Structure 1
Amino acid sequence: MGIKLILADDDTLIRESLKIILSTDKDIEVLQTFENGKDAVDYTLNNQVDIALLDVRMPLLNGVQATKEISNRTETKVVILTTFDEDEYIKDGLKYGAKGYLLKNTHPEKIIKTIHMVHEGNCVFQEEVLNKISDNIQNKTEAKTSHIDESLFTDRELEVMVAIADGLNNKDIAKTLFISEGTVKNYITSIFQKTGLEHRTQIAIYYLTGKK
């Protein structure tokens, strides 16, 4: 079954180049191209689209906000393909449901492969993006765990506590750490058992202050 795809980028040359590259794959059908996020969202609301390939910085509605709208309101899966690797874009893209995040210097074959993998139900983030996520989590852990006895917890439990302190729900934690929601619940249960706490809000307060 073919992959019905749209792409949005405000740079005409990049947009048309991507269309040509993607059209070389017999399984990918480029339905439409757009120069802003709003038109991409409107199209997915009214048409069957499997994959939306979005740049981050676009007029009217940027790629991150378009990701949020498309993920919340349609079955379309979003892959962000951009020149921007700032932490905030990556974090928000993940939070709003992006299934892939690639930089535009990625080899065309890798882009095509990513589209196929996401269509099959996988999440794909290239190494540079994963490293930024990992570094961000590590930095937050180092910055916020001075109030508690780290030896009581595994590294993964500390990462979950950081995420809870940041206000993430289980679904967002699962996306951020690339684990299942069930695994997140298991880590939270373990944290409860080790601390005697009963609510996730208590975990956040304990993590930030060291007080139960």
Structure 2
Amino acid sequence: MKLLVAEDQSMLRDALCQLLLMEEDVEAVFQASNGLEAISVLEKEAIDVAILDVEMPHKTGLDVLEWVKTYQKTKVIIVTTFKRVGYFQRAVKAGVDAYVLKDRSISELMGTIHTVLAGKKEYSPELMETILSHDNPLSPQEITLLQHIAQGKSSKEIAELLFLSPGTVRNYTSSIFNKLGASNRVEAITIAQKHDWI
């Protein structure tokens, strides 16, 4: 099988690729240090499984996942250190094949690779527990909007980025405040980050 490992930390990426290449049924492992490189490899090579980190420069693992599921049949495993509900929900919505935490052995990762190649899904139990214990009241659009607010963007900038009218952005913002019981932007961001909703 041919694998792609997209990870922006070069030492971690090199080590993972070396270990995967030692597995009998792995024919080749391609590397990418960011999301754009990952898409470039996926366009050129017939990759069976793409193993993506979430937080990468240029395009995130979630952006790459959404691109793959639109244009290809490649299986996608998201490997992350973050137990963020928002990330997980976006990945599941996009059709991720497996979403697992980084603290696993190569043999466990190989098990996950075989699971997704057999057409099954796999999610880390810790992530399922996080989801069940903290149900995010925000819609995907509200999560996106709040992430932009957390980055310090103004309502006007957010409206342009998301192709919304400033009035719609204001409506979404007040809806976020209502759902989180927040009275301002800082409070909303604090509450959402505390629960790993953004």
CA distance in structure 1 between the partners assigned to 2:102 and 2:38 by the alignment: 19
Match for residue 39 of structure 2 among 38, 41, 51? 41
TM-score by length of 2: 0.66
Q: Residue 16 of structure 1 corresponds to which residue in structure 2?
A: 14
Moved over 6 A (4+): none
Q: Residue 77 of structure 1 corresponds to which residue in structure 2?
A: 75
Match for residue 99 of structure 1 among 97, 100, 104? 97
Q: Alpha-carbon deviations, 1:50-77, whole Å to 9, x = none?
A: 1000000101101111110011111111
CA contact (8 A) 2:17 2:29 kept: no
TM-score by length of 1: 0.62
Number of residue pairs matched by the alignment: 142
Please list every run of 5 or more consecutive structure 2 residues that lacks an aligned counterpart in the other structure: 141-198
Let me know the Cα RMSD of the aligned residues: 2.1
Match for residue 29 of structure 2 among 28, 31, 35? 31
Are 2:53 and 1:55 equivalent residues in the alignment? yes
Please list every run of 5 or more consecutive structure 1 residues that lacks an aligned counterpart in the other structure: 141-164, 168-212
- Give 1:31 shift: 3.3
- Give 1:166 shift: 5.2
Q: Residue 172 of structure 1 corresponds to which residue in structure 2?
A: none
- Give 1:4 shift: 1.3
- Give 1:25 shift: 1.2
- Give 1:92 shift: 1.0
- Give 1:42 shift: 2.0
Larger radius of gyration: 1
